[in-house]
A and B are shown apart, each in its own frame.
Chain A
Amino acid sequence: MKKLTKEIICILPCNGLDKSLGVIAREVSLKVIEKNSDVQLICPVLLNNGDEKYETLIQTAKIIIINGCMTRCPTKLIEERKLKPFKQIMIPDMSKKYKVKPTKDLILNEENIKLAELIANEIITDLNKINQEKENNIREFQEQEFFDITVDKYYFTVPKEGYFFNENDCWIKPEGNTALLGITDYLQNAASDILFVDLPELGDEIEQFDDTGSFESSKTVLQLISPGSGRIIAINKRLEQNPELMNQDPYRKGWFVEIELDNFEEDKELLMNGSEYFDYMKNKIMKEKNHLAKINGERDV
């Protein structure tokens, strides 16, 4: 799977050191970049001096502005360059919103840190939402080679490389320290037409073999039993409108959730690679076929 180039997000705070609001704005920015290292910090003083690196960066980046007071210095810096900020925050507005009144101390105190923390959390939540929407809409998948087998009217595939499987017919596709999770072609065939999905919550911590959401077909309700452990960082919201993607493209567009991996090396001990799972799946299909034949009074195949 290939992810498209990441969008750059910058944060441009007021740096007014002569007012507590400026100090809070600076603290908000530091807390945001502490929690999301992808966000780049822009120094307003250096930008005002026409720093070449910053001038180039702000032309393409999404800019979050943190204004300390109504002078709105960071906003003016951006407007002078005929650019539009992606998001603007006024510390006094946020103070009213969160009912936390900042003191005038220039050295950060407990109350002002609390306000900075609340504002930073709001920004982080917004950024997570944006990332999630982006992930849901702009995922590209590379061509994949499959093992395949046809049994009666059913066609089953298993990716040859890059995926790992548990015996609960769910897959995990690790990529760096994150991984996509989904169900196998076998399980979607067994379920038949999937009509509803019940996705887990973003941020949930899951352990290997945890129930990580469920899906309902015309025949039954099934669970995705996680092949890996970690924190859920994205869910495939498209499945809520288009659950049939799990039937049509179970290994790619039908992905269920993305997790930040805890310890995949340990998880792998109880997983199979593509070739092993293909053998396991074939064996299971043939057993079921024989079983059905017995039930139907037919001769064994």
Chain B
Amino acid sequence: MSNSYEADKETFMGVPRNKIPWWPTIDYDKCNFCMECDKFCPHKVYEKTDDDVRKLIIKNPYNCVVFCRACAKTCAPDALTFPDKKEISQLIKKLRSE
């Protein structure tokens, strides 16, 4: 339930949050714009738009809680994907050692 209100100042395991590329990617071929993910996410990662094609976008990627994929569970058409967890944890370890 961590909220990253000031993403540029936030850290995850001592690593600046904006150096960790963890957030959902929307597959617009699958998304039916039910907006369940947006309703679910308490961290304001998503934002609805007036765009006809991309009615939902990833507005605040660094608000996304690293390793959380809970919103994907709300997605019936399975349109949300996340980065490879192992690669991200390796990256965090690398950045921590620098």
Which A residues lie at the B interface, using CB under 8 A? 166-169, 186-187, 190-191, 207-211, 214, 220-223, 225, 269-270, 284, 287-288, 291
Please measure, in the bound complex, the distance between the C-alpha atom of A190 and the C-alpha atom of B88, giving whole angstroms.
Answer: 26
Supposing A167-B12, A288-B3 touch, asked if A269 and B70 sit within 8 A by C-beta, the answer is no
Does the CB pair B70–A222 fall under 8 Å? yes
Convert B62-98 into 0s and 1s, putting 1 for each residue whose CB lies closer than 8 angstroms to a CB of A. 0001111110011000000000011011001100100
Smallest beta-carbon distance A192→chain B, Å = 11
Please determine whether B66 and A221 come into contact, CB atoms closer than 8 angstroms.
no
Q: List 23 A-B contacts (CB under 8 A).
A: A167-B2, A167-B12, A167-B13, A168-B2, A169-B2, A186-B1, A190-B1, A207-B86, A208-B89, A209-B88, A210-B85, A211-B69, A214-B70, A214-B73, A220-B40, A222-B70, A223-B68, A269-B93, A270-B13, A287-B3, A287-B5, A288-B3, A291-B5
Q: Are B89 and A209 in contact (CB under 8 A)?
A: yes
Closest to A221 in B: B70
B26 CB, nearest partner CB in chain A, Å? 19
Q: How far is the CA of A291 from the CA of B3 in the complex (A)?
A: 9
What's the dominant secondary structure at chain A's contact region? Answer: mixed
Alpha-carbon distance between A169 and B2 when the two chains are bound, in angstroms: 9
Q: Cβ of B5 and Cβ of A168 under 8 Å apart?
A: no
Chain A residues whose CB sits within 8 angstroms of the CB of B70 once the complex forms: 214, 221-223
Contacting residue for B92 out of A187, A214, A270, A288, CB 8 A: A270
Interface magnitude class on chain B: 20 to 34
Q: Kindly state whether residue B21 has any CB partner on chain A within 8 Å.
A: no
Supposing A168-B68, A221-B70 touch, asked if A207 and B2 sit within 8 A by C-beta, the answer is no
- What is the CB-to-nearest-CB distance from A285 to chain B, in angstroms, rounded to a whole number? 10
Assembled-state Cα–Cα distance A201/B24 (Å): 26
Q: Which residue of A lies closest to B71 (CB)?
A: A221
Chain B residues contacting A284 (CB-CB under 8 Å) are: 2
Complex-state Cα separation, A284 to B11, whole angstroms: 11
Are A168 and B40 in contact (CB-based, < 8 A)? no
Q: Are A220 and B42 in contact (CB under 8 A)?
A: yes
Chain B: CB-nearest residue to A190: B1
CA distance A179 to B27 in the complex (A): 37
- Tell whether, in the assembled complex, residue B42 and residue A221 are in contact, meaning their CB atoms are under 8 Å apart: no
Q: Which chain B residues border A209 with CB–CB below 8 Å?
A: 67, 85, 88-89
Q: How far is the CA of A190 from the CA of B2 in the complex (A)?
A: 10
Which residue of chain B has the shortest Cβ distance to A271 in the bound complex? B13
Taking the closest CB of chain A, its distance from the CB of B36, in whole angstroms, is: 11
Chain A residues near B85 (CB, 8 Å)? 207, 209-210
In the assembled complex, the Cα of A291 lies from the Cα of B4 at a distance in Å of 10
